[in-house]
């Protein structure tokens, strides 16, 4: 009872505290970095009430489901990387959505013709079995110290009391007016007179508050069985379409929900210039792709090179890695991915030989990792087209005084997921099934119970056996390049983690042009012109990712780092002693 009373006092203080939103904070206690000030404050409140990093991460994630509902929530899934100081090990908790039992490789084909991606997204067909609540439960029960009823209190308070709609919230809302307008439950929550909620208006979500109260009282079972489960299945199979709107439905069952399981997996382990890297394993492609890219770059002395040439090598390594990632990586429970070959330092040396240090080589083909496998894996090397992968997710990171660390990326996939709000429940359902390739043969084709390939890349990095820094980002397939470039900036180019994270992002995913950000005015800059001399060309997008990280400093202090500009700026907080 004492801990509950303390938590209530801390939350009350936090509710009236005049926190100044800041992207960088340094101190001696636990730390948190998220894209939402309310979420960061919730995590800090849990830490101050005696919770550990896992407790605080779940609390922050639940608040993000209120304040950033267009990119995450209980209707989706994710990947949580946990460093347990007691166990001295890193644990990968996979609670990625799974395909319902009715799925087959032709599920996204009508009369033998593939659906267009944009047509498949705002439908019941795109919804996978949500994994977020099961992931939170497993994280808390195995590695946390608090219950759902404790860690969900901040999110319930924010959902009930509401918050002022920010420019960024309004921007995303406005971009999705047409999608929201397809569903009655969604337009009732997020539109007013069929238009996005105005900046500065008060947004409350009492239905989501009640959903969280249900979980606080009934635990994980309240989500995957009973009335809430029935409401989810009904929304997927009979989408609440607006009058005159036709929406493809699905065949999800209550057993699909009841049978959902999260997975505890061994993380991807690799090394780079004296650091030990831990990343997410399959069905994420992030851990493998980042490790392979770093193995390739290890063959070049980036520190000794001009910045433009180092960045050129980073871009060329990214090309090679994405060629391999697209050809080979998917859910390892359904096929033999050549993991050992892709992670082999010797294989990376062979791939590095293909890079011209002075000129880009354009699109690359997948390599052959099988000779480096030392097993009997059966090659599957299709050159399928790369399906769209939306850039709308969220990442948070938390550490505590004891030394536990959490790097957590979770999502509902596209902005606003499928667009379907479960009527009366206040949360959006994912469109994660459109992360599958729509045609065979391919490692990532849809199959019953399968988890679609992801790019989510929560990463924890160690030096001399102790945490050195963490980094992660939203951004679809740009997540991989964001994390990789931040590492190169920090480790090779000598930037602080804050500067490395804030720098203009260059995302080369084996395309004709490299994607860059309008937000940071990269095109026309001296950096851009220097890279153009190597043959690089640009494709502009508004912004790439909204990353967060923590740096564990040599003097024993800790620095939490979030975005200064992207997504409206993030929130970094550190406990006071």
Q: What is the pLDDT of residue 18?
A: 36
Q: Domains of the chain (ranges plus CATH)? A: 21-35+74-128+169-361+395-577 (3.60.20.40)
From the CB of residue 464, how many other CB atoms can be counted at a distance below 10 Å? 8
The secondary structure of 87-117 as a DSSP string is TTEEEEEEE--B--TT--TTTTEETTEEPPH
DSSP 284: B
| pLDDT class of 541 with cuts at 50, 70, 90 | very high
Mean pLDDT of the chain: 93
Prior bond of 283 cis (ω within 30°) = yes
- Relative to beta strand 275-279, strand 459-463 is antiparallel
Helix (H, G, I), strand (E, B) or coil at 164: strand
pLDDT in tens, 237-256: 999 999 999 999 999 999 99
Segment among 292-306, 323-337, 387-401 with least mean pLDDT: 387-401
pLDDT value at residue 379: 54
Beta-ladder partners of 466: 463
| pLDDT for position 442 | 87
CA atoms within 13 A on the CB side of 421: 27
In the prediction, which pLDDT does 20 show? 57
Residue 274 has, within 13 A of its CA and on its CB side, a CA count of 5
**What are 295's two structure tokens?**
């193995």
Determine contact, residues 29/53, Cβ cutoff 8 Å: no
The pLDDT assigned to 111 comes to: 85
Q: What is the residue-wise DSSP string for 491-547?
A: IIS---HHHHHHSPP-B-SSSSSEEEETTTT-TTSHHHHHHHTTT--EEEES-----
Average pLDDT, integer, range 449-471: 97
**pLDDT category, 259, cuts 50, 70, 90?**
very high
Backbone angles phi, psi at 407, to 5 degrees: -120, 120
pLDDT given for residue 439 in this prediction? 85
- Tell me how far CA of residue 82 lies from CA of 29, 146, 267, 330, in angstroms: 18, 16, 10, 22
> pLDDT for 480-505, tens place per residue?
999 999 999 999 999 999 999 999 99
Q: What is the pLDDT of residues 72-127, one digit of tens each?
A: 999 999 999 999 999 999 999 999 999 999 999 999 998 889 999 999 999 999 99
Confidence of residue 8 (pLDDT cuts 50, 70, 90): low
State what percent of residues in the chain have pLDDT above 90.
Answer: 90
Tokens of 51: 């919770």
Q: Determine the pLDDT at residue 382.
A: 52
pLDDT tops 80 at residue 385? no
| pLDDT of 13 above 50 | no
Per-residue pLDDT band at 333 (split at 50, 70, 90): very high
Do residues 509 and 318 touch, judged by C-beta distance below 8 A? yes
pLDDT in tens, 200-237: 999 999 999 999 999 999 999 999 999 999 999 999 99
Tell me how far the alpha carbon of residue 496 is from its chain's centroid: 23
Let me know if 543 is exposed, middle or buried by CB neighbors in 10 A (0-12, 13-18, 19+): middle
Tokens 């890695």 belong to 321
In the prediction, which pLDDT does 381 show?
Answer: 52
Give the pLDDT confidence of 156-205 residue by residue, as tens digits: 999 999 999 999 999 999 999 999 999 999 999 999 999 999 999 999 99
Residue among 34, 211, 360, 393 flagged as catalytic: 393
Confidence of residue 7 (pLDDT cuts 50, 70, 90): low
Q: What percentage of residues in the chain have a pLDDT greater than 70?
A: 93
The answer, yes or no, to whether residue 28 has pLDDT greater than 80, is yes
Q: What is the total residue count of the chain?
A: 577
pLDDT digit string (tens) for 148-162? 999 999 999 999 999
The pLDDT, as a whole number, for residue 571 is: 97
**Parallel, antiparallel or unpaired: strands 558-561 and 24-27:** antiparallel
pTM, rounded to two decimals: 0.94
Active site residue 393: yes
Q: Is the peptide bond before 441 cis (omega within 30 degrees of 0)?
A: yes
Model confidence band, residue 16 (pLDDT cutoffs 50, 70, 90)? very low
372 has pLDDT over 90: yes
Say if CB 172 and CB 415 are below 8 A apart. Answer: yes
Q: Exposed, middle or buried: residue 160 (CB in 10 Å: 0-12, 13-18, 19+)?
A: middle
Structural tokens at position 492? 């090779």
């Amino acid at each position: 009872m004492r801990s509950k009373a303390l938590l209530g006092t801390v939350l009350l203080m936090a509710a009236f505290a005049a926190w100044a939103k800041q992207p960088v904070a340094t101190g001696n206690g636990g730390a948190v970095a998220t894209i939402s000030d309310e979420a960061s404050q919730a995590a800090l409140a849990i830490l101050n009430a005696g919770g550990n990093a896992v407790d605080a991460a779940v609390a922050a994630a639940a608040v993000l489901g209120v304040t950033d509902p267009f990119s995450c929530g209980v209707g989706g899934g994710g990947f949580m990387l946990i460093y347990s100081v007691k166990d001295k090990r890193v644990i990968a908790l996979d609670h990625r959505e799974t395909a319902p039992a009715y799925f087959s490789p032709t599920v996204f084909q009508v009369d033998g013709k593939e659906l267009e991606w944009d047509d498949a997204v705002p439908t019941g067909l795109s919804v996978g079995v949500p994994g977020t609540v099961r992931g939170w439960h497993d994280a808390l029960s195995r590695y946390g110290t608090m219950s759902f009823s404790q860690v969900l209190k901040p999110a319930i308070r924010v959902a009930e009391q509401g918050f002022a709609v920010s420019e960024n919230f309004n921007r995303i809302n406005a971009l999705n007016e047409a999608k929201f307008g397809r569903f009655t439950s969604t337009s009732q929550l997020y539109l007013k007179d069929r238009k996005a909620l105005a900046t500065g208006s008060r947004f409350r979500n009492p239905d989501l508050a009640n959903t969280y109260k249900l979980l606080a009282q009934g635990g994980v079972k309240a989500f995957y069985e009973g009335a809430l489960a029935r409401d989810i299945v009904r929304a997927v199979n009979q989408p609440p379409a607006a009058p005159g709107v036709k929406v493809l439905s699905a065949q999800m069952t209550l057993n699909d929900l009841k049978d959902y399981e999260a997975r505890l997996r061994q993380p991807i382990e690799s090394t780079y210039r004296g650091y030990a890297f831990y990343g997410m394993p399959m069905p994420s492609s992030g851990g493998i792709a980042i490790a392979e890219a770093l193995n390739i770059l290890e063959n070049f002395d980036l520190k000794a090179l001009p910045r433009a040439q180092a960045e050129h090598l980073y871009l060329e390594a990214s090309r090679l890695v994405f060629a391999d990632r697209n050809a080979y990586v998917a859910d390892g429970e359904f096929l033999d991915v050549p993991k050992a070959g892709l992670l082999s330092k010797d294989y990376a040396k062979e791939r590095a030989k293909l890079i011209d240090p002075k000129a880009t080589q354009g699109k690359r083909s997948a390599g052959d990792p099988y000779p480096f496998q030392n097993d009997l894996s059966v090659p599957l090397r299709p050159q399928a087209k790369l399906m769209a992968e939306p850039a709308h997710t969220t990442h948070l990171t938390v550490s505590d005084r004891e030394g536990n660390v959490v790097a957590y990326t979770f999502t509902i996939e596209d902005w606003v997921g499928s667009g379907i709000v479960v009527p009366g429940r206040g949360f959006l359902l994912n469109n994660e099934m459109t992360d599958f390739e729509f045609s065979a043969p391919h490692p990532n084709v849809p199959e019953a119970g399968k988890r679609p390939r992801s790019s989510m890349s929560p990463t924890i990095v160690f030096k001399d056996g102790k945490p050195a820094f963490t980094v992660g980002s939203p951004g679809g397939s740009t997540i991989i390049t964001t994390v990789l470039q931040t590492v190169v900036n920090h480790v090779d180019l000598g930037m602080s983690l804050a500067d490395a994270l804030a720098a203009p992002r260059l995302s080369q995913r084996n395309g004709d042009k490299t994607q860059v950000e309008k937000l940071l005015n990269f095109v026309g800059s001296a950096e851009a012109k220097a890279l153009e001399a190597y043959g690089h060309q640009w494709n502009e997008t508004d912004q790439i990712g909204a990353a967060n990280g923590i740096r564990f400093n040599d003097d024993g202090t800790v620095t939490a780092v979030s975005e200064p500009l992207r997504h409206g700026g993030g929130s970094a907080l550190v406990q006071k002693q």
